[in-house]
Amino acid sequence: MTRLWWVRHGPTHARAFAGWRDIPADLSDHAALARLNAHLPRPALLVSSDLIRASATADALGPGRRRLPDDPALREFHFGDWDGLPFTEVATRWPDLSRRYWEEPGHIAPPNGESWIAAAARIDAAADALAAAHPGQDIIAVAHFGAILTQVQRAAAISPYEALAQDIANLSVTCLQLDGGRWSLLGVNHRP
Protein backbone atom coordinates (compact mmCIF):
# COMPACT_ATOMS: atom_id res chain seq x y z
CA MET A 1 0.00 0.00 0.00
CA THR A 2 1.17 3.48 -0.85
CA ARG A 3 0.15 6.39 1.35
CA LEU A 4 0.14 9.97 0.15
CA TRP A 5 0.27 12.50 2.97
CA TRP A 6 -1.01 15.77 1.51
CA VAL A 7 0.13 18.84 3.46
CA ARG A 8 -1.20 22.31 2.72
CA HIS A 9 1.57 24.89 2.64
CA GLY A 10 2.03 27.50 5.38
CA PRO A 11 -0.24 30.57 5.42
CA THR A 12 0.34 33.38 2.94
CA HIS A 13 -2.01 35.98 4.46
CA ALA A 14 -3.06 36.83 0.90
CA ARG A 15 -6.44 38.51 0.56
CA ALA A 16 -6.69 37.78 -3.13
CA PHE A 17 -6.72 34.83 -5.48
CA ALA A 18 -3.39 33.04 -5.20
CA GLY A 19 -3.15 30.40 -7.87
CA TRP A 20 0.07 30.25 -9.86
CA ARG A 21 1.28 33.57 -8.45
CA ASP A 22 4.50 32.88 -6.54
CA ILE A 23 3.97 34.32 -3.07
CA PRO A 24 5.83 33.22 0.07
CA ALA A 25 4.41 31.37 3.05
CA ASP A 26 4.68 32.61 6.60
CA LEU A 27 6.65 29.85 8.32
CA SER A 28 7.25 31.72 11.56
CA ASP A 29 5.08 29.38 13.68
CA HIS A 30 7.89 27.00 14.60
CA ALA A 31 5.73 25.12 17.12
CA ALA A 32 3.13 24.29 14.45
CA LEU A 33 5.84 23.14 12.06
CA ALA A 34 7.39 20.97 14.80
CA ARG A 35 4.00 19.33 15.53
CA LEU A 36 3.43 18.74 11.83
CA ASN A 37 6.92 17.32 11.39
CA ALA A 38 6.42 14.94 14.35
CA HIS A 39 3.06 13.77 12.97
CA LEU A 40 4.35 12.90 9.48
CA PRO A 41 5.98 9.54 8.78
CA ARG A 42 9.70 9.09 8.84
CA PRO A 43 11.20 7.77 6.67
CA ALA A 44 9.16 9.16 3.82
CA LEU A 45 9.70 10.72 0.45
CA LEU A 46 8.97 14.44 0.23
CA VAL A 47 7.75 16.34 -2.83
CA SER A 48 6.09 19.70 -3.32
CA SER A 49 4.60 22.03 -5.84
CA ASP A 50 7.21 24.27 -7.41
CA LEU A 51 5.55 27.41 -6.04
CA ILE A 52 7.63 28.98 -3.25
CA ARG A 53 4.92 28.76 -0.58
CA ALA A 54 4.81 24.97 -0.98
CA SER A 55 8.49 24.43 -1.69
CA ALA A 56 9.60 26.41 1.38
CA THR A 57 7.12 24.51 3.56
CA ALA A 58 8.54 21.23 2.24
CA ASP A 59 12.07 22.46 2.94
CA ALA A 60 11.03 23.04 6.57
CA LEU A 61 9.91 19.39 6.76
CA GLY A 62 12.86 18.04 4.79
CA PRO A 63 15.54 17.10 7.31
CA GLY A 64 15.63 13.31 7.59
CA ARG A 65 13.46 12.77 4.53
CA ARG A 66 14.42 12.14 0.91
CA ARG A 67 13.43 15.20 -1.13
CA LEU A 68 12.14 14.65 -4.63
CA PRO A 69 12.26 17.46 -7.23
CA ASP A 70 9.51 20.07 -7.03
CA ASP A 71 6.63 19.21 -9.34
CA PRO A 72 4.71 21.96 -11.19
CA ALA A 73 1.83 19.49 -11.71
CA LEU A 74 1.07 19.85 -7.97
CA ARG A 75 0.36 23.58 -8.28
CA GLU A 76 -2.83 25.25 -7.15
CA PHE A 77 -5.63 25.82 -9.67
CA HIS A 78 -4.66 28.28 -12.38
CA PHE A 79 -6.97 31.26 -11.78
CA GLY A 80 -5.91 33.03 -14.97
CA ASP A 81 -7.06 36.66 -15.07
CA TRP A 82 -8.35 36.39 -11.49
CA ASP A 83 -4.94 35.63 -9.98
CA GLY A 84 -3.88 38.45 -7.67
CA LEU A 85 -7.30 40.11 -7.63
CA PRO A 86 -9.32 40.45 -4.41
CA PHE A 87 -12.32 38.12 -4.22
CA THR A 88 -14.72 41.08 -4.13
CA GLU A 89 -13.26 42.54 -7.32
CA VAL A 90 -13.65 39.23 -9.13
CA ALA A 91 -17.27 39.00 -7.95
CA THR A 92 -17.91 42.55 -9.17
CA ARG A 93 -16.20 42.25 -12.56
CA TRP A 94 -17.41 38.70 -13.38
CA PRO A 95 -20.56 38.28 -11.25
CA ASP A 96 -22.17 35.39 -13.14
CA LEU A 97 -18.96 33.55 -13.97
CA SER A 98 -17.50 33.83 -10.47
CA ARG A 99 -20.73 32.60 -8.89
CA ARG A 100 -20.93 29.67 -11.29
CA TYR A 101 -17.25 28.85 -10.70
CA TRP A 102 -18.00 28.10 -7.03
CA GLU A 103 -21.57 26.80 -7.37
CA GLU A 104 -21.01 24.57 -10.41
CA PRO A 105 -17.37 23.48 -10.21
CA GLY A 106 -16.45 21.23 -13.05
CA HIS A 107 -16.10 22.72 -16.52
CA ILE A 108 -16.35 26.38 -15.45
CA ALA A 109 -12.99 28.21 -15.70
CA PRO A 110 -11.80 31.76 -15.02
CA PRO A 111 -10.73 33.72 -18.10
CA ASN A 112 -7.37 32.28 -19.21
CA GLY A 113 -7.47 29.84 -16.28
CA GLU A 114 -8.34 26.21 -15.73
CA SER A 115 -11.49 24.45 -14.61
CA TRP A 116 -11.82 22.00 -11.73
CA ILE A 117 -11.84 19.12 -14.21
CA ALA A 118 -8.63 20.31 -15.91
CA ALA A 119 -6.86 20.88 -12.58
CA ALA A 120 -8.03 17.53 -11.21
CA ALA A 121 -6.76 15.69 -14.29
CA ARG A 122 -3.34 17.33 -13.89
CA ILE A 123 -3.11 16.58 -10.16
CA ASP A 124 -4.56 13.05 -10.45
CA ALA A 125 -1.88 12.21 -13.03
CA ALA A 126 0.87 13.58 -10.78
CA ALA A 127 -0.39 11.62 -7.75
CA ASP A 128 -0.69 8.43 -9.79
CA ALA A 129 2.82 8.90 -11.21
CA LEU A 130 4.25 9.36 -7.71
CA ALA A 131 2.52 6.20 -6.48
CA ALA A 132 3.67 4.21 -9.54
CA ALA A 133 7.28 5.39 -9.18
CA HIS A 134 7.38 4.69 -5.43
CA PRO A 135 5.02 1.78 -4.69
CA GLY A 136 4.48 0.80 -1.08
CA GLN A 137 6.06 3.97 0.31
CA ASP A 138 4.94 6.93 2.34
CA ILE A 139 5.05 10.11 0.25
CA ILE A 140 4.54 13.57 1.73
CA ALA A 141 3.22 15.99 -0.91
CA VAL A 142 3.18 19.68 0.05
CA ALA A 143 0.60 21.39 -2.12
CA HIS A 144 -2.37 23.74 -2.13
CA PHE A 145 -6.01 23.98 -1.05
CA GLY A 146 -7.52 23.19 -4.46
CA ALA A 147 -4.98 20.51 -5.33
CA ILE A 148 -5.71 18.64 -2.10
CA LEU A 149 -9.48 19.00 -2.56
CA THR A 150 -9.26 17.30 -5.97
CA GLN A 151 -7.72 14.30 -4.25
CA VAL A 152 -10.36 14.28 -1.50
CA GLN A 153 -13.01 14.36 -4.22
CA ARG A 154 -11.45 11.44 -6.07
CA ALA A 155 -10.83 9.23 -3.01
CA ALA A 156 -14.22 9.92 -1.42
CA ALA A 157 -16.07 9.62 -4.76
CA ILE A 158 -17.92 12.88 -4.19
CA SER A 159 -18.73 15.79 -6.48
CA PRO A 160 -16.43 18.83 -6.80
CA TYR A 161 -19.17 20.89 -5.14
CA GLU A 162 -19.22 18.53 -2.14
CA ALA A 163 -15.41 18.62 -1.97
CA LEU A 164 -15.45 22.43 -1.81
CA ALA A 165 -17.38 22.19 1.46
CA GLN A 166 -14.35 20.54 3.09
CA ASP A 167 -11.89 22.71 5.00
CA ILE A 168 -8.19 22.26 4.26
CA ALA A 169 -6.29 24.43 6.75
CA ASN A 170 -2.75 25.64 6.29
CA LEU A 171 -0.27 23.08 7.67
CA SER A 172 -2.98 20.42 7.85
CA VAL A 173 -2.61 16.80 6.74
CA THR A 174 -4.95 14.86 4.47
CA CYS A 175 -3.93 11.22 4.05
CA LEU A 176 -4.87 8.96 1.13
CA GLN A 177 -3.99 5.35 0.58
CA LEU A 178 -3.65 3.48 -2.68
CA ASP A 179 -4.52 -0.19 -2.37
CA GLY A 180 -5.42 -2.47 -5.24
CA GLY A 181 -5.51 0.42 -7.69
CA ARG A 182 -8.06 2.41 -5.66
CA TRP A 183 -7.46 5.55 -3.62
CA SER A 184 -9.20 5.76 -0.25
CA LEU A 185 -9.36 8.52 2.32
CA LEU A 186 -7.71 7.87 5.69
CA GLY A 187 -8.12 11.36 7.14
CA VAL A 188 -8.88 14.92 6.08
CA ASN A 189 -7.63 18.23 7.42
CA HIS A 190 -5.86 16.83 10.47
CA ARG A 191 -4.16 19.64 12.38
CA PRO A 192 -1.37 18.20 14.50
pLDDT tens track of the chain, all 192 residues? 999 999 999 999 999 999 999 999 999 999 999 999 999 999 999 999 999 999 999 999 988 899 999 999 999 999 999 999 999 999 999 999 999 999 999 999 999 999 999 999 999 999 999 999 999 999 999 999 999 999 999 999 999 999 999 999 999 999 999 999 999 999 999 999
pTM: 0.96
Instruction: Choose, from 13, 30, 39, 76, the residue flagged as catalytic.
Output: 76
Question: Which residue among 9, 78, 114, 144 is the active-site one?
Answer: 9
| Whether 47 contacts 134, CB under 8 Å | no
Q: What kind of fold does domain 2-190 have according to CATH?
A: Rossmann fold (3.40.50)
Q: Where are the domains of the chain?
A: 2-190
What pLDDT sits at residue 63? Answer: 86
Which positions ≥6 away from 27 have C-beta within 8 Å?
10, 33, 56, 57, 60
**Residues in CB range of 8: below 8 A, 6 or more apart:** 142, 143, 144, 145, 148, 168, 169, 170, 171, 172, 174
Biggest distance spanned by C-alpha atoms of the chain: 48
Active site residue 76: yes
Q: How remote is the C-alpha of 5 from its chain's centroid?
A: 11
d(CA 46, CA 28): 21
CA distances from 137 to 14, 57, 71, 129, 150 (A): 34, 21, 18, 13, 21
